[in-house]
Amino acid sequence: MSADTRIVFTGRCYCSAITFSTTQAPETVAYCHCDSCRRATGGPVAAFAAFDEKAVTFTPDDGRQITVIPGSTRTFCAACGSSLTGRYDYLPGQVYISLGVIDQANDLAPKIHAHDSERLTWLHIEDDLERVSATARSKINDASK
């Protein structure tokens, strides 16, 4: 193990059957207001931190996979149902980890609202962050450069 593989962020699912750690800070942190993220996470809005896939280690693994929409694979803990990750064909090499399962979520404020056009009308998050109506893929990719 080289000297620069220090743990930066850690996390676990609700039941602690799955844990993970990262060796880098996330490339971006985003809210997602899309219908799919609401259903997958059960909350009125989802939030994710996007990491370089190579920087994250899951123990024993990142859970059960589910692909409902082609090109989008999510994982969840098969024991407790925690939403853990999302991987998207158009964002190769990145893994999106649900913000709520990261121990240091308080240090990871989102930078953007993705799919703001699908936001629940009664949900008002007051901030000055950029709001994009559709996918944030171009913004996210720009932000990670």
Residues contributing to the site for Zn ion (CB under 5 A): 13, 15, 17, 32, 34, 37, 77, 79-80
Give the Cβ contact number of residue 77 at 10 Å.
20
Residue 30 or 108: the one with the smaller Cβ distance to Zn ion is 30
Residue 5 or 120: the one with the smaller Cβ distance to Zn ion is 120
Indicate the DSSP class of residue 102.
B
91-123 burial, b if ≥16 CB within 10 A, otherwise e?
beebbbbbbebbeebeebebbbbbbbebbeeee
Report in angstroms how near the CB of residue 12 gets to Zn ion at its nearest.
8
Report in angstroms how near the CB of residue 53 gets to Zn ion at its nearest.
19
Report in angstroms how near the CB of residue 25 gets to Zn ion at its nearest.
22
Report in angstroms how near the CB of residue 56 gets to Zn ion at its nearest.
17
Residue 54 or 90: the one with the smaller Cβ distance to Zn ion is 90
Six-digit token pair at 87? 């991987």
Element containing residue 95 per DSSP (H, E): strand 94-98
Residue 25 or 79: the one with the smaller Cβ distance to Zn ion is 79
